[in-house]
Amino acid sequence: MEDQDPADFDPRLGKQLGGYIVVARVADGAMGRVFEGRHPDTKERVAIKVLHDHVARDKVASERFKREYEAASELNHPHVVKVLEFGQTPENSSFMTMEYLVGKELGGVSGKGAPLPNAQVVRVICQTALALDHAHSFGFIHRDLKPDNIFLRATDEGDDVRVLDFGSVKLQMETGAKLTAMGTTLGSPYYMSPEQATGSADVDQRSDVFALGAILHEMLTGKITFEAINVALILMKIMNESPVAPSSKNPTITAAMDEVAQLALQKNKAKRYAGTLQLAEGMLKAYGLEADVKKWASTPTKEIEAALMKVNPASVPPPPPAPAEAVTPAPVVSRRTDSAPPPSTSMMSPAGVSKGLPRGALIGIAVAVVVLGALMMLR
């Protein structure tokens, strides 16, 4: 048995944090380390996120982590990650316990050069829109919506969304401590609204609409909506440039969907959709589907594909052809059109006689055969 790499060992393994035993190290991020936890009695499986020690010493980062728990704990919604506990470790760091998710982040499948299937777009956008609308109803603005914060649980019916990371959340009537200094921005630059890019304090649910619009555009095209070599150029594009129409990158997209993306990504927030549900409804109408976000959010992907095929066959590309099976070719049989009998292969093998013999020798052989046949008839 090989010795364990000391770098992989964590002293928290086997210890108890809150109501759960730390049983395995799962992943590391910029903010903290994620462990698998198990309840000692029920064996319930959970994820335990622990802040790195140096992050825990940062008051703003520590407060943001606490706010992530507080916001998510208020949002009892099937498409918002469920949090269970918040506490302090013996080393004076903070930990948060949440439901254990198996799947992948949307960032792992979108923006990779190829559009996502339209049925998947419908289901994911509808579920995400419902989660954000629920948060907005509590006065919470996410402010950092991006594909990496949209987790996709794989189920038999299709993707099951969990919106993550409410650490950047803003209350529309904020009473708590401010987490950013005046003039700074908060959020991922690729999905930041123009008002966030300018450092404006006037941020509301329409900033989340802009981010969801950028994510929709990316899912439809396979390309990041506002892409550049550095943050400054990304923000300049967000503030000054309109993205290309999705239909120019994806032939299954209609002009109606181009209008949806354009409306969601308006520079002036007053011209955008008023909320994420309105954006999702616009998307459904552009696909030719009934504008019932809840219905399509819970509809299996296969049924969405069938509905899309019915209203617009071009929206569902045909599956790739199955690989052809190897077939042994049948022997080629020569069909003669004259009445002459075929040559005797016992007498003249093409591979043995005709190949490589001079013309005179072939004529001599033919004459000998004829004479021999005549002699045999005379006998």
Task: State the CATH number of the domain containing residue 157.
Answer: 1.10.510.10
Q: Are residues 80 and 187 in the same domain?
A: no
pLDDT > 80? residue 374: no
The verdict on residue 117 lying in a domain is: yes
The verdict on residue 290 lying in a domain is: yes
Q: Are residues 193 and 93 in the same domain?
A: no
Min mean pLDDT across 103-117, 254-268, 294-308 is at: 103-117
Q: Are residues 235 and 161 in the same domain?
A: yes
Helix residue spans in 298-358 (DSSP H): 301-311
Q: Which has more pLDDT, 213 or 168? A: 213
Q: How many CB atoms are closer than 10 A to CB 348? A: 14
Size of the chain in residues: 379
Q: Are residues 92 and 120 in the same domain?
A: no
pLDDT value at residue 280: 98
Domain boundary among 53, 75, 99: 99
Domain count, the chain: 2
pLDDT > 70? residue 33: yes
pLDDT > 70? residue 351: no
The DSSP element (H or E) to which 240 belongs, if any, is helix 231-240
Q: Are residues 70 and 16 in the same domain?
A: yes
Averaged pLDDT, 76-84: 94
> What's the whole-model pTM score?
0.77
- What is the identity of the amino acid at 6? P
| Distance separating alpha carbons of residues 211 and 199, to the nearest angstrom | 16
Task: State the CATH number of the domain containing residue 95.
Answer: 3.30.200.20
Q: What is the pLDDT of residues 279-296, one digit of tens each?
A: 999 999 999 999 999 999
Q: Which domain holds residue 170?
A: 103-175+182-315
The verdict on residue 195 lying in a domain is: yes
Averaged pLDDT, 110-137: 95
Domain boundary among 99, 130, 162: 99
Q: Are residues 59 and 123 in the same domain?
A: no
Q: Based on the residue annotation, tell me whether 144 is a catalytic residue of this protein.
A: yes
Q: Are residues 169 and 117 in the same domain?
A: yes
DSSP of 149-192: GEEEEEETTEEEEEE---TT-EETT--S---S-TT---S-GGG-
Q: Look-up: residue for tokens 């790499």?
A: 5
Domain boundary among 295, 315, 335: 315
The verdict on residue 331 lying in a domain is: no
Extract the tokens encoding 176. Answer: 């708590």
Q: How many CB atoms are closer than 10 A to CB 245? A: 18
The verdict on residue 336 lying in a domain is: no
pLDDT > 70? residue 172: no
Q: Are residues 88 and 64 in the same domain?
A: yes
pLDDT value at residue 199: 85
pLDDT value at residue 168: 73
Q: Which has more pLDDT, 40 or 172? A: 40
Q: Are residues 46 and 80 in the same domain?
A: yes
Residues 6+ apart with CB under 8 A from 89: 12, 17, 50, 95
The dihedral over CA atoms of 121, 127, 133, 138, expressed in degrees to the nearest 10, equals -150
The verdict on residue 354 lying in a domain is: no
Query: If pLDDT is split at 50, 70 and 90, which confidence band does 357 have?
Result: very low
pLDDT value at residue 322: 57
The dihedral over CA atoms of 326, 331, 332, 338, expressed in degrees to the nearest 10, equals -160
Q: Are residues 202 and 217 in the same domain?
A: yes
Query: If pLDDT is split at 50, 70 and 90, which confidence band does 61 have?
Result: confident
Q: Are residues 150 and 216 in the same domain?
A: yes
| Distance separating alpha carbons of residues 264 and 281, to the nearest angstrom | 12
| Distance separating alpha carbons of residues 16 and 21, to the nearest angstrom | 4
The verdict on residue 333 lying in a domain is: no
Q: Are residues 80 and 167 in the same domain?
A: no
Q: Which has more pLDDT, 186 or 137? A: 137
Q: Which of 144, 160, 165, 208 is catalytic?
A: 144
Min mean pLDDT across 47-56, 186-195, 262-271 is at: 186-195
The verdict on residue 348 lying in a domain is: no
Q: What is the pLDDT of residues 191-217, one digit of tens each?
A: 999 999 888 888 899 999 999 999 999
Q: What is the pLDDT of residues 292-314, one digit of tens each?
A: 999 999 999 999 999 999 998 87
